Amino acid sequence: MSAYIPAGDRYDSMIYNRCGKSGIRLPAISLGLWHNFGSIDNFENGRAIVRRAFDKGITHFDLANNYGPVPGSAEENFGAILQKDFRGNLRDELVISTKAGYHMWPGPYGEWGSRKYVLSSLDQSLRRMKLDYVDIFYSHRPDPDTPIEETMGALDTAVRQGKALYVGLSNYTAEQTSAALAVLKSLGTPCLIHQPKYSMFERWVEGGLLDVLEANGVGCIPFSPLAQGLLTDRYLKGIPEGSRASKPSGFLKADQITQDKLDKIQSLNAIALRRGQTLAQMALAWLLKDQRITTVLIGASSVDQLDNNLGSLNKVQFDAAELAEIETILK
């Protein structure tokens, strides 16, 4: 690939939303490296996606220690992209996040939420990405066997050590979030953002979590906003060959794709077409209509797919009739 020169107009078309009550604004669409950036994937394809994302105003790139496969390889590849294309002051234009919580290495200290694991994991992540610090460091999941004070204390330590600027939570329920926020506030390191699974098909956050975040001035960045690809045009006629649902090891299982769900996908697609959008674009816009949502976290397997998702920002508004029709379908 030729030397990378970022687009001069990269900030002209992106929407930037304030993250809770913090001083940070994040792009309405952020890029996650959960899939397509591991050691089994094409490095130059991933590099092209990151370049295009930044050229289009995406400043936030989200990782975790276990992203790959193999675990850790997404951070290694992203670090290589940073070294090749984002040297010097460009780092200051990026918000980079990573997480600790899921299994990473053998033995009793290789997962969950102990101080030992959380801080060791962050050190490993920084080495893989060749960074001095990350902008956001998350507890990736609550640990049922570790006191919340210990896990949150580790996040606080990461900030005080200068290895993270902000901290976040992921996959915490409303009640767990309230407890964690109280501890972080008492330590003097308030939570910046929460990353839950949220889409038209996965709406548990509406049962209290969004209210907790709003009351405490915490931002929200939904992951899997397209329900692992279900809320795209790929599944309008069933399960296509090569899709996530067609692979037995994938997160999206074939038995999750019922006829009822296919009917809903087709009905939602009809609304999207009337709006002049793809189904994916409408699904992203549907999340962004809520002022409590700071940014949605997308994945991308190609530059074209990234561009399609960015098209959601052309029409984020819905009228009351559209929202009512969508609710009728989803129920």
| pLDDT tens per residue, range 276-310 | 999 999 999 999 999 999 999 999 999 999 999 99
What domains lie within the chain, and their CATH numbers?
A: 16-233+287-315 (3.20.20.100)
Predicted confidence (pLDDT) at residue 73 exceeds the cutoff of 80: yes
The structure tokens listed for 188 are 């003097």
108-162 residue pLDDT tens: 999 999 999 999 999 999 999 999 999 999 999 999 999 999 999 999 999 999 9
Parallel, antiparallel or unpaired: strands 29-32 and 296-298? parallel
Q: Specify the DSSP element, H or E, that contains 191.
A: strand 191-195
The predicted pLDDT at position 9 comes to 98
Q: Under a CB-based contact definition with an 8 Å cutoff, are residues 307 and 31 in contact?
A: no
Helices (H), 232-276: 259-274
The predicted pLDDT at position 258 comes to 86
The structure tokens listed for 199 are 């889409």
- The model's pTM: 0.95
184-236 residue pLDDT tens: 999 999 999 999 999 999 999 999 999 999 999 999 999 999 999 999 998 88
- What's the mean per-residue pLDDT of the chain? 95
The structure tokens listed for 44 are 């130059």
Q: How crowded is the C-beta side of 84, counted as CA atoms within 13 Å?
A: 17
Does residue 242 or residue 68 have the better pLDDT? 68
Any residues with CB less than 8 A from the CB of 228 and at least 6 apart, and which? Answer: 244, 245, 250, 251, 252
| Residues of the chain above pLDDT 70, percent | 95
